[in-house]
Amino acid sequence: MLQESNRIEFKVELNDKLEKEVVAFLNNKEGGILYVGVDDNGKPVRISDIDSTQLKIADRIKNNILPSTLGLFDIVTEEIDNISVIKILISSGLEKPYYIKRQGMSPNGCFTRMGASSQPMSTVMIDDLYSKRIHNTLRNIASPRQDLTFAQLKIYYQERGLELNEKFANSLELLTPEGKFNYVAYLLADENGVSIKVAKYAGSDKVDLIENEEYGYCSLIKATHQVLEKLKIENITRAKVTNTKRVEKNLIAPIPMREAVINAIVHSDFSREIPPVFEIFNDKMIFTSYGGLLPGQSKEDFFSCSSMPRNRELMRVFKDVGLVEQLGSGMSRILKEYDKSIFHISEHFIKVEFPFSLPKDNTIIANGDDNGNEIGDDDSEMMKVLGLLEENASITAKQMSEQMDISARKVSRLIKALKENGKIIRVGSDRKGYWKITQ
């Protein structure tokens, strides 16, 4: 049963203490989770109008707290004992101290978590946090170009059923305090000078470079999709045949690989103009991002699966377009399949080294070579469906049938089989929901 703690708070209903609890979690080193519709004993309490309540919560967090909370919170529903409750996931913010707007940066407006409660911060604590505040964020750095266009970004939003109106630069915080396009806007624009490198080597070291691709000079969203597609192609399936069974695996587990790619990009320190690098060897893949741990962040914090985004504005956009599913979920997906030892953290860089799952020997068939041992067509097509769902959780059956060149009826049958096997679940409604891969 859930219990209140330093990172978990319960509210039976939405009340005037919402901002106080959210501020406390924003100022907390590990962030936290606020449940609405749960009593002090962890029992669910039915909410009369859950959709309206979620909208009110989002509006109050967005408008009643400073500095900006964009990209620092996520609101979802969760089932507890067959009753829907509201779960607010709150990241630890980089621009501490956060405070209630109408109370100002004072003990009446600044709170932090102490045990299982939210307590006012002292003036000394407030002054200390303010002196350490990181002001040189991407939001405050002017774009090197001001003639930016955003056609690609608008297309990605439209694909998710979202429209960017004429005020999108304000709502997505793409402007500096002086009203100029900032570096976030530069990264998301149709044209920029940012390029992500994908290098491929013949062996297990960097001696023999056989491919050196660059993806970029376009919206970071588009570049991210290009990198994901390239690595998906490289992440072939190998089958190892023994006397008793046939074992089939990708070189790297697909879901952790995708999460590591997105993490490397969205958490990279672009202020130094050093983009992430992705390297492919014959026995591993290594993803390197610049930036190291955040100020005040320990390795324990890094692995705790509590979100502390370096670039919250980018995180918001990545979430809007479906590249990020839920705050803090990426690390847990990686650690579900791999040990912490795949991470190598230094002062300025974070490297993730994925060893290939099967050794190279004579008993291995790459990509199911034609030797009479291929898996059945349905299994192969189900893998294709999973691959499409990894790329776009909101893809329709019609879009899948077109991309796979099979009938919509067969797509429906494959999806049904994946659901029955517990591989995927549907989150939300048929029209506005999305698919979630569970295994």
User: Which of 159, 106, 122 is closest to 395 using CA atoms?
Assistant: 159
**Dist CA 88 CA 334 (whole Å):** 22
369: pLDDT strictly greater than 60: no
Q: List the structure tokens of 17.
A: 């203490």
Burial class (CB in 10 A: 0-12, 13-18, 19+), 293: middle
| Lookup result for tokens 């299994």 | 379
Write down the pLDDT at residue 363: 42
CATH code for the structural domain at 8-131: 3.30.950.30
CATH 3.30.950.30 in the chain, residue ranges: 8-131
Which 3 state secondary structure label does DSSP give 164? coil
- Note the residue count of the chain: 439
- Which part of the chain has CATH 3.30.565.60? 195-374
Mean pLDDT of the chain: 88
| Contact present, 318 and 221 (Cβ < 8 Å) | yes
The pair of structure tokens assigned to 408 is 């919509």
Q: What is the mean pLDDT of residues 319-337?
A: 87
Tens of pLDDT, residues 107-156: 999 999 999 999 999 999 998 888 777 656 898 889 999 999 999 999 99
Q: How far apart are CA 328 and CA 326, in angstroms?
A: 6
CATH of domain 195-374: 3.30.565.60
Pick the CATH number of 376-439 from 1.10.10.10, 2.60.40.1120, 1.10.260.40, 1.10.1130.10: 1.10.10.10
The dihedral built from the CA positions of residue 217, 222, 225 and 229, taken in this order, carries a sign that is: negative
- d(CA 394, CA 398) in angstroms, rounded, equals 12
Maximum distance among all alpha carbons in the chain? 74
Beta partners for residue 352, in sequence order: 287, 343
Q: The dihedral of CA 327, 329, 332, 338: what is its sign? A: negative
Smallest CA-to-CA distance from 220 within 152, 143, 145, 309 is with 152
Name residue 196's beta-bridge partners: 215
- Amino acid letter, residue 247: V
Burial class of 422 by CB neighbour count within 10 A (0 to 12, 13 to 18, 19+): exposed
Rg (CA), the chain: 23
Q: What tens digit of pLDDT does each residue of 250-302 get?
A: 999 999 999 999 999 999 999 888 899 999 999 999 999 998 888 778 888 88
- 33 or 384, greater pLDDT: 33
CATH 1.10.10.10 segments of the chain: 376-439
